[in-house]
Structure 1
Amino acid sequence: SRKLMPQTVTDDEKLFVRAKVEEGYELWRRGRLAEALAAFQRASEIDPGCIKALLAATIIAYSVDKDFKKARKHLMRLLLMPKRLTEETRREIRYQLGQMALDAGDWKEALHQFRATLFADAAYGPAYEGLARAYLLCLKKGRADDEGGVEVVARKALDAARISLAYIDSELANITNPDFLANVRKLRKEVVLRSGRHIRLRTDEDVAAYEETLKAAKAGILCVVADVYAQLKRYDDTAGALGDACRLRPKDAWLHYRLGVALLMTGDKAGAKKALGTACRLAPKERLFRETLQTLEEQK
């Protein structure tokens, strides 16, 4: 890969680069990762200072090879290009670093990066979810004492999760608001999803898909909340959070299974049977669900 050297890029080249970046996003949206990666790489060859292309190429490459060290090196290098960095890009880089650290199981690095994300933009909802997940990982790894103890870490995780849920709720309210939608369509604004996919809200189908994505994200955060409560052995609260998640994603068999297990922990066998029955109905081939339900039914 070429060094990030200052070089003059002609106006024609800039236009070409912009078109290449657009093409890259379009391919990315369609899930054609190899072609998208090639487009972003081509753009960054012509303009080695094109942060958008470099960032996108790094994210896609990472999603394929999961090489945290390599991706981290690339992203840290981008942070050293302050002249080309907007606040939004800085935030995005920090956020991606946080996500990658979570993937790698490095809760300390994740905490650091999500805090840095929020330092760049305190209103960036997804970073609060990142924080919640990092604190949860800290709890799961038995390292809560590094951060003030189990109660403190759990409270921080739950606080971050609640803020994240509030942002998603406001976004869900937004996308049913015609004025907001009209604005988004006018801006032709890209929405980058947690999965790294890019979508545009131009049609009703786009909006419906985005609503589903938001609901899935909300269910994901409720699972984090449930896990934090489970770490505290507050199984009623665990079941409560998972019940909310199931209402958002009624066809998600795993959520119903998890709810069933949580209800078992609270001693609610009837509720557990019902939830496990739903899981089995939704995913009849899943042996774990069947066997758990069977074991429960065989108990006196």
Structure 2
Amino acid sequence: MAKRRVSQLNCLIAVDKPVGCTSHDVVSRVRRALGERRVGHAGTLDPLASGVMVVGIGQATRLLGLLTLDTKAYVAEITFGSETSTDDAEGEVVREADVHPGLFEHAAAEAACRSVLGQQMQVPPSYSAISVNGVRSYKRARAGEDVELEARPIEVLAADPIAVANRDGVPVWTVAFTVSKGSYIRALARDMGRALGTAAHLSALRRTASGSIGLGSCVSLDDLDVRTACEHMLDPVRALDVPAVVLPERLREDVLCGKRLSSSIAVGADGRLLGEGERCALVSGGSLVALAAVQGSALAPRDVFPQPIGGVAL
């Protein structure tokens, strides 16, 4: 087996995914633009959607499953009068319904948005990446199977109507949502239509933030190269939302060998001594060297990065 080439670039970046490409397409384009094979992403976006996608390069791919991207923000366009097989504009129309004239009023959008706030159970779209007995739901749906997914708990933290338009005789709402991780805006659009006695589907979607990472941190795929990636590295410590501990240079090799350190050095940037079991990021020279946790009198490295992950800003 060929030995994996050491990555020359180890960092997190955010890209502004364009409409029409899949999340896998984004990874492929990043690989080509940077000449790196080890690339992954956090938080899938449908081809219809655009916006913030966090990408890991090199050693930073190991962080993708640890990121605290617990909330997502979107600007969504909801078109009333029809429901589709995919709950968005990519699917076939499966149901049409009359639309009450009141839905052309901004007051109706405000009331409907208030009604979806809070914790609730949501049935995901049948065309989703959720696995059913080891097979993706969308694959079963495309094969003609009748897919019924179980409702899952989500939370809508904010829902603010931006505009109400009349497009070809049907109301189209533009709404800014902030939701918990795992929420489907397509399903919110579908359910809002049903709750209002009509039908609806998602006709456009833009992710404006993933956790604390917004569009202002993103780079365009068309402009991406090694220099641009280096200039737009995300701070991995901030993305992980753990305290940073500055690692003395004399202990760096010990950490890279996985040796336990004295917990006396486990002091965060705010001067607080970390508590039992608390995770932290060991940083040195503007890079993330390891993730560790306090265990009694020791600071035990959990994840060590032989090629440190850049972008730390203390």
TM class by smaller structure: under 0.3
* Structure possessing the higher relative contact order (Cα contacts under 8 Å, 6 or more residues apart): 2
What TM-score, normalized to structure 1? Answer: 0.23
Question: Which one has a larger percent strand, Structure 1 or Structure 2?
Answer: 2
